Structure 1
């Protein structure tokens, strides 16, 4: 008779640490006492398995069987776990099932595949199309066409060297002349630019240095998860964060296998939900990592009317450049077309070949006689119209690839008969044919769709459409960035009912801007006129503006970031213009344009004119503070398990990576009011887990009076009340709180942030927010 499995440990709150060689396990152990005192229950560690040497993030795994030596190895991780346990903390770790680093000299499994080809025991590990490229794996590692760099290729014993690249030679081929030697390998080193159209292995988005792993194969799953599962079963690790499940062939089946193998441990998935999209009910997980929560929290502190006015001002300021104005959807779609024709062209080709194979083998005459170009066009037109990352089952495919989208897609064809390819492709996506070719097509379609959404929206359109930078966040909708209190309460009620221990975040290693930067930028939605006035002043300062879109983004960046070293702004804006891809890009860099951007930043936003923007920020500081504290408190007390990103318990202003992965100081030098609010909320969660957990309740509380809409409040299990100020600048302009009241639930309520105060009944909001623009109350004594 087997014993029952223990119930999984559910964190009350996690604290994300970015491990790297400069911050290994021992450094994490050193800050455990501080983090325990802060009030979290678990450390949330970035990937811990062996990665490319020197990797600052660990998502480029090379060996799933070993804990990363640069971090201290397995003994270092176990020592960290022991230290954490001694202080009442557990560990949650980030795992990366979708991909590995395509660096053969460090990745033994890939090395063996390149040496032995499809016969290798590791060939099933990687998602390689052996039918393409003459049966060779295309490796885009050369700095130029082969004829220009062949002298840099040299045989060294049983390996082929090209600068830092080391590749295995097929047995018995080392003595061949170079052309014949290359033809004899199971791989073909080529100019890196060929990856765009010729690559024949699945990768992470468009990053050729990360090769897709086939964890849908049971043997591959076992091999790539054995160490993590061992750490789970031995009590070193308590829970998991799953990176990028959308890249997997069958996320649902993978999560089922992981759930069974892990014993049902608390697991959250990095699933980006579009507005209105639901996490699949069948997934055996606690929920998402929390970008859906981020969107709803951010939206509370943004004025939709002012955001609309900013769009108008932005359109005039940035005109007549392309991709400007007020149409977010059009910008995203244009970006998607560009990504499919450039970064993901090889993925679209492979998907087209899969469609051709299904049609050619189908017994249904309606699917026959479709030209590959027509199928490719139909795929392109349907993919760019998807508003979520991917379908998961045949049941939800119809809601993802809609009849309306198909109707629009047909308009891309000049000949009506050719437009029938759209119906063919949609039928294949919605189909339930269990045949291998049909399953492969549906799988490739879903994987390509998720890569497209990420590259087109997160990595391109977010950098082209910038009326309000705070709205351009992972999981966000810049076209509709505001969230009403009613919509927020409805969201929280759904989370508490359906996914009560899902993750929640407001800052992560992947956010474009930290929560505090976004909180400052959101204030601009309350004063678009003042922003326009300041921008008009600084724009007359005589600096050369590279283009209106970049200038607008740069001025908002320095407003949101506040005082900072100019190089931080320069690095972030250089990434901004390359990601936007309008005047320069990562692969087609335009030095004159990039130099013009740097000169503009030095003379304008980072120079004397920037002082006017700084003065506006100073004038708005009370309202920035209200947003910062409100965001923090709502995040820490709403339904779900909050994840606190390193350093964000105090004021934390960071831009896109690598800026947001800089080392932080523990504890913060001056955590200020935010530190006070964060620690109070975290300690309350740890002390009263029942109030916030799976069996807890969520109850909206409505204020009454002339400024009722500026008070967002809710109760947790009738025992804790959160109240925050929203749109505080609009509130001040309207005359303040005046006689606005908040009706508390029955009983006496102690102010957790000020132990000297208690409240009962109907409380004047002005009194409730006497010292801070937020309040956290705990019931004291029985209800009478």
Structure 2
């Protein structure tokens, strides 16, 4: 919590010690969550972390497609069910954190589900809700009788307008196109269909026009999610009224903010929210890139934890082995590309003419034209030159976005990043580059168009980064899939223990209550799936040989990168049902946008890939070999799973557990990872003794999780201090104290440890006192202890000093 953040109100609940994410949906409602409360309390969490609560489109399995900010989703049980959940949680000393979606609403089907948007479609820029939505009314000609007023492009037709005119029907004051419904402008219902369409405040259009002509801001490239302008105080109040009321009533105690980078002014939004809640616990889904740090003046407790995921996975990854694996991948695939270059290509494709974010770039170009028209000193920069400069800046920008507030000096890191990104411009674009640089950094004075450019550049940059890197490049470079995670840095695999300790110290000092995460509803592979893949970095030559052998056994794959994707997906999630595997592969290759894509699917390629994957799973000679390989790395994957879990649960911050991840969870990208979890069965297993089945990873992980969570809840975790081992295998141990009474010790790079002679005489010097391992119940002693003895039963240890 920074010095500028409002302090919590008197009597407010303190920050969480841990949280548990529940994915609410029609198949798992607030009533189901209420029934899970006793189990979650026994597990040891302090807060339930709920996916979005407000009314969403019918059947929504995620809740990020809000249609009504005025009520809790009836599909989930409505406000009565939420209040019942809160009451049950309070009886068990638990509190609730709610996921908030300030950036966008659904553009639903049928459209009248979103009543504010319905009124905008009917009344256009004169609607009382016109200022709610981020629409550029100047980008499209208006109705024939008001050509200068503009209208909203709706890219949803299956073909060009002329080919589908006869598919429109009029029913009273409603225009229908299949399942779509649009309000008619008053007085136009009786017109012939062609004239009627020309008189509306919206323009139904062929869906392929979206990328170049869209005139409303979206969530990334999702046409069905229209952006909301929460920077307008009235819009903030209207869209947050229900959640703020529930917070004031004590039903909700904290908030998770979805996609803050989409907001015009993230800092201003967080300050307004903190003022409205008295400083309630708030975290933001901010993706930090490389060494980037969360702005210190944001009124929040920290991020949702992807920065922790990258560090925890990183310190458990063999850097040298990962580099050799990348080399083998390039040789096999005949490619010289690296993750950084793939990221740049992904960004460039989005911003190029015809790219999926070309319309967003065009909007920035129009703003520059408006600025030049109003200020002659900034005029005469041709649109193609402006577009080229913007494309270069958005392609080369090293992080998601700058945080520039008009009227304030730009942050030093923003100045550095913008300047560096434009350093490669050719001389003929230098003058335009200076103009765009000044506008992006807010250095050329104030004015409506300048302020808008400043905000909109940041919003566009974040969309380009997310779609170009995470949703494109990370699906193209398949050397080691565990690196290709949200917030990941595959160009720099692995993290030295000293770097890990430095990061933990930074968190403890600056963001002690930030969330940390390993698996989320957005991770491409769950933590345990990645734990298997991380082993591959320790045996790169063996894995490359297996890949080649399996491909030979299965026959020619549609392409070599896809073969690496297929075999690693099987390793990560084994055993995998054919339909599940095909769904994951098709999503991955469409996101990669090389051989096929969502918008231009290559049916022949997809059919070949589908047949290849199904044949591989039906191959009687291949499946035993895959299963044998998974079995051979299981001890090392087990070590990675337990090590990541213990680090997650005991480093500084607030561990956020994804539903079901207290036991081994081998899920893949959504929707695979969003299925309901049987929490009732987990509750039964929580009472089982981990000694019933020694080496049973499910029992080990559940016991470890509950033990660490209960220590957290009891306040046993204090100041962070690294501990250093000595001896021949010291580099394979990562250890630290949390306060005076707790020590965590985990194995890293277990394959190399086993094949390098084991722990031998490696020793760990414990702080003074008598210690007991909470995972085994066995005394450890004090002073210098043998690591081989310490980790005899498990690859990790959680020690508590005896009172």
TM range (shorter): over 0.9
2:695 aligns to what? none
Q: Does the 8 Å contact 1:50/1:62 carry over to 2? A: yes
The 3-state SS of whatever aligns with 1:133 is coil
Structure 2 matches for 1:690-729, cutoff 5 A?
Answer: 691-692=716-717, 696-729=718-751
Q: In structure 1, which of residues 671, 674, 684 is the aligned counterpart of residue 701 of structure 2?
A: 674
Query: What pairs up with 1:612-631 in 2 under 5 angstroms?
Result: 612-631=625-644
Cα separation, 2, equivalents of 1:329 and 1:535: 24
C-alpha contact (below 8 Å) 2:369/2:379 kept by paired residues: no
Residue 105, structure 1, aligned to residue 127, structure 2 = no
Aligned residue number for residue 209 of structure 1? 224
1:68-83 pair list within 5 angstroms:
68-83=73-88
Cα deviation code 1:360-396 (max 9, x no counterpart): 3335x3x332111101100001110011100002224
Deviations 1:393-436 (A, max 9, x none): 2224644534332221x13xxxx334321122112112342211
9-18 vs 532-541, greater mean Cα deviation: 532-541
Match of 1:747, SS state, is coil
Asked whether the equivalents of residues 21 and 50 of structure 2 are also in contact (C-alpha less than 8 Å), the reply is: yes
Report what 1:61 is aligned to.
66
CA contact (8 A) 1:387 1:400 kept: no
In 1, the alpha carbon distance for the partners of 2:746 and 2:350 equals 41
* 1:128 equivalent among 135, 147, 169: 135
Partner Cα distance (2:786, 2:131) in 1: 66
Q: Which moved more, 1:422-431 or 1:468-477?
A: 422-431
Contact 2:389 2:429 in 1 (8 A): no
Question: What per-residue deviation string (whole Å, max 9, x for no partner) do you get for residues 491-535 of structure 1?
Answer: 000000000000000000000000000010000000011112212
CA distance in 2, matches of 1:325, 1:752: 49
1:136–1:443 Cα change, 3 Å: same
Deviation at 1:186, TM superposition (A): 0.7
1:536 correspondence with 2:548: yes
Q: Which residue of 2 aligns with 1:762?
A: 784
What does 1:57-456 align with in structure 2 at a 5 Å threshold? 57-103=62-108, 104-134=111-141, 135-319=150-334, 324-341=335-352, 342-362=355-375, 365=377, 367-393=378-404, 394-396=410-412, 398-399=414-415, 401-408=417-424, 410-411=425-426, 416-432=427-443, 433-456=445-468
Structure 2 unaligned spans of 5+? 1-7, 142-149, 405-409, 686-697
Contact kept? 2:532, 2:572, Cα under 8 Å:
yes
Q: Is the 8 A contact 1:312 1:325 kept in 2?
A: no
- What's the counterpart of residue 40 of structure 1? 45
Q: 1:564: how far off?
A: 2.1
- After superposition, the Cα gap between the structure-2 partners of 1:606 and 1:66, relative to the gap in structure 1 and judged at 3 Å, is farther
- Residue in 1 that maps onto 2:483: 471
Residue 555 (1) aligns with residue 567 (2)? yes
Residue 686, structure 1, aligned to residue 713, structure 2: yes
- Cα distance in 2 for partners of 1:614, 1:318 equals 25
Aligned partners of 1:9 and 1:238 also within 8 Å: no
Question: Where do 4+ consecutive residues of structure 1 move more than 4 Å?
Answer: none
CA contact (8 A) 1:562 1:617 kept: yes
What is the alpha-carbon distance in structure 1 between the residues aligned to residue 177 and residue 350 of structure 2?
30
SS of match in other structure, 1:487:
helix
User: 2:5 maps to which residue?
Assistant: none
Offset of residue 326 of structure 1:
4.9
Are 1:302 and 1:522, in contact at CA under 8 Å, matched by a contact in 2?
yes
Report the TM-score, using the length of structure 1 for normalisation: 0.96
Q: How far did residue 605 of structure 1 move?
A: 5.4
Question: Which has the higher mean CA deviation after the structures are superposed, 748-757 or 267-276?
Answer: 748-757
User: Is residue 708–residue 740 contact of structure 1 (8 Å, CA) maintained in 2?
Assistant: yes
- Tell me if structure 1 keeps the 8 A contact 2:371–2:379: no
Partners of 1:107 and 1:434 in 2: CA distance: 35
SS across alignment from 1:155: strand
In 2 relative to 1, CA 399–723 (structure 1 residues): closer, same or farther, beyond 3 Å?
farther
The alpha-carbon distance between structure 1 residues 259 and 126, as it changes in their structure 2 partners (threshold 3 A), is same
Written as runs of structure 1 = structure 2, the 5 A alignment for 1:738-753 is 738-753=760-775
Give the match's secondary structure for 1:763.
strand
Structure 1 SS opposite 2:782: strand
- In structure 1, stretches of 5+ residues that fail to align are none
The number of aligned residues is: 763
CA distances 1:552-602 after superposition (whole Å, capped 9, x unpaired): 111011011121212111111100000000011001011100011111111
Q: Does 1:484 align with 2:489?
A: no
CA-atom RMSD in angstroms: 1.4
Q: Please say if residues 633 and 678 of structure 1, whose CA atoms lie closer than 8 Å, have aligned partners that are also in contact.
A: yes
Q: CA deviation at 1:8?
A: 4.3
